[in-house]
Structure 1
């Protein structure tokens, strides 16, 4: 595959997984740029050897720079099953299509839902909405998560997503460790029932690592209260909690237009500032005295025409160490006015905190490096700093066993 003349040669890379069209031709998209315009270029081939480029960009965005690691795949309109890109079931009444772009200029993975036009000589992807560069753009993950790729798992009829989670410490730390960056927990992805966004959830195989289990049910959290989750290894744990919230009509007012949720989360002072419904959530990798903590929390707001939730992951007190990236992450998501519960699942593994809010409709991944809250000195708490009481409808937490890496049965994989 050769770069077309209107693409910068040093910014032409990252071919996608190939898919086979109804016409018997293979197709691949490649990331590119021309000036400040990001492009996704389509190639097709009859024999997987000789490739021809489509003269019209398959997808393009202005003022974004190179489109790295493009990923393109169908998602079923109904149900959680994946759809194979080799399938001929490309009927728009059955599937939507997803274009994922890793924008190097932003180091985030954005995705677009839209229609795949495969008729005639010119094929392209038409997104439902254009890229705006604002917090309204859809992202897989609103924390550290980049250069992801997905694949179709034919054995279980699902699509699995994997992303790169880079470090938050200094380059010298990486040199001393001898490595930098890890892969996220594999996630199954599918289209939300409202058709407006994707849902992500840790693949079921993660549950094979579950070890000691504790649970809490029907526990009230009064305003300003904190409850420790004991009996598990808090430095390596899978915790899922369902909060029962008071009537959303009692939520405080917010006009989200022009409001950056990440800045709003940063102003929450580790979730300590009281609102009406929230902040409430988890204190992960916390020291006993709470001097170190990574706070993952929600707050509910009433807006001019809907209710929204704010999900935050606050790293500002994650470590006593200096010279770390302690950025606080956040995003808005819609709340059903009839909804009286909201869920949070967080997977914690020493330096990584992967959180799935509202049953996986919003995700935030963080890298943290506590100096006090490590190994047996790490603690996990549930908290509520809102003025209204919150109830833990149910909480389940499991210590996690070590994963066996590089082994399948008794045979070592090289």
Structure 2
């Protein structure tokens, strides 16, 4: 794929996938099949704002280098193609395969247009591919599941194997009721209602894009838990779009959460801090996981944007991008299950790269220290901060006329990312923000990895215990670091910066 050069090309991501030219939002149909990771996604083939919803398509052998393909499932006169998922029907339970090919089955939401006799409703439909996802044919008897509802959408389908039986399971949402609804099927075409979950925990916006999957607790396959993720808009911990998760048990019929919090706070903001968030930033939404990832890994991708300002972000001729793929695991933290997230491309180890530069220790006594980080707007920064007795300690990532400030306030127990001075912030009144997350220190230290891209930052705290993802739009590349401490002393135990020119768009 050739990337078109434009006047805002300095904002095109180097580390994250985006389309060459069009609007994209939710990731859909994530599956690993025949050696390729398939990323489908909501796309507008005709513009850079939301509309004409169709499924775009990209593939990668390694979650690192992506190749964009033509639109996979286009909208038509009667329906737009909303979010959904893909499974490999290896037993041809659907009967849609032939003697030479077993089908990939896409289950997606049909959002019916005024010209349709089903106008104003959403239902689940099916398309299938016999050539490994290159071309798709819509099933003639669509829709395959309807509740005659205006907000029934976003099916995630997987194969469930119980003690005595195996069948397909679908989790979808009644978005405005804040409910996840669960169905089963033997053939992917006929569905039986099983149960529902919710409302629970964060309900400040509609629920969308659910996912349900098992993970071993602390790496022990004898202690399996089930994780239910659900995204909501608005109602996130820092405003607008976000994703939350629940951990519990699924018996093939009902999901039961053991991490639902009682709403016993008179302060709504304080109550939000108690929930389990996939990410604490403002730009991590519609996260879902790959089916059939190798070695039973659970890998998630999200849309890196926020519905508060998504249609106004200053990029062209493209708008919207995906997060880094993240491998998720479950670990015990403070006596309860906690989702750990790490970048899924395991060979990206900055310390071993020849372009890595290491600094430290750096002593800060109510002072500042500037480094030439050697970054050119995209790279990786590994930092260990020894907080000591400082009231606030952190660093600024800087470029001509722009800076991002990331810091810790130990007395408040918070980490923050301040993007208000990122220069290009006036395209929407809700974009300038200081976004906060919990900052659990260990032995008085905070370890973080920063994935800096030309228009985004993803923070991973303590090897993925806490994540925070925010978009940024500086006018010029960010190239240097300035560490600081306020009201006391702190030490930068180590700082490793790695410049990178990854080509995730296949350039």
Which TM-score band (shorter chain)? 0.7 to 0.9
The offset of 1:314, in angstroms, is 0.5
Runs of 5+ in structure 1 lacking a partner? 82-88, 247-275, 302-307, 408-414
**In the superposition, relative to structure 1, how do residues 192 and 315 fare at CA in structure 2: closer, same or farther (>3 Å)?**
same
| Aligned length, in residue pairs | 341
CA contact (8 A) 2:364 2:485 kept: no
The offset of 1:405, in angstroms, is 2.8
The offset of 1:173, in angstroms, is 5.6
Q: Is the counterpart of residue 150 in structure 1 residue 150 in structure 2?
A: no
Give the counterpart of 1:135 among 254, 270, 273.
273
The offset of 1:320, in angstroms, is 5.4
Match of 2:227 in 1: 98
Match of 2:213 in 1: 73
Question: What TM-score do the two structures reach when normalised by structure 1?
Answer: 0.74
For residues 351-371 of structure 1, the C-alpha deviation after alignment (integer angstroms, 9 at most, x for no partner) is 111111232211111111112
Match of 1:281 in 2: 394
Which structure has more strand as a fraction of its residues? Answer: 2
Question: What TM-score do the two structures reach when normalised by structure 2?
Answer: 0.61
Moved over 3 A (4+): 58-66, 130-133, 167-174, 208-211, 333-336
Please give the residue correspondences for 1:1-400 in structure 2 after superposition, counting only pairs within 5 Å: 1-4=144-147, 9-22=149-162, 23-33=165-175, 37-54=177-194, 56-61=195-200, 63-64=203-204, 66-79=206-219, 94-106=223-235, 107-118=241-252, 122-130=253-261, 132=263, 134-143=272-281, 144-151=283-290, 154-166=293-305, 171=311, 177-194=316-333, 195-205=336-346, 207=348, 212-230=355-373, 232-246=374-388, 276-284=389-397, 286-287=398-399, 291-301=401-411, 309-319=413-423, 322-324=426-428, 325-336=431-442, 339-371=443-475, 374-375=476-477, 378-400=478-500
The offset of 1:150, in angstroms, is 1.3
The offset of 1:129, in angstroms, is 1.8
The offset of 1:18, in angstroms, is 1.1
- Secondary structure of residue in 1 paired with 2:150: helix
RMSD of equivalent CA atoms:
2.8
The offset of 1:141, in angstroms, is 1.1
The offset of 1:379, in angstroms, is 2.5
The offset of 1:64, in angstroms, is 4.6
CA distance in 2, matches of 1:320, 1:58: 41
CA distance in 2, matches of 1:124, 1:208: 37
CA contact (8 A) 1:244 1:393 kept: yes
Runs of 5+ in structure 2 lacking a partner? 1-143, 236-240, 264-270
For residues 56-81 of structure 1, the C-alpha deviation after alignment (integer angstroms, 9 at most, x for no partner) is 314433855532100111221123x9
CA contact (8 A) 1:114 1:127 kept: yes
For residues 88-109 of structure 1, the C-alpha deviation after alignment (integer angstroms, 9 at most, x for no partner) is x6xxx61222111111233111
CA distance in 2, matches of 1:320, 1:39: 38
For residues 201-242 of structure 1, the C-alpha deviation after alignment (integer angstroms, 9 at most, x for no partner) is 112346179561100132222222132143x22411101111
The offset of 1:181, in angstroms, is 1.2
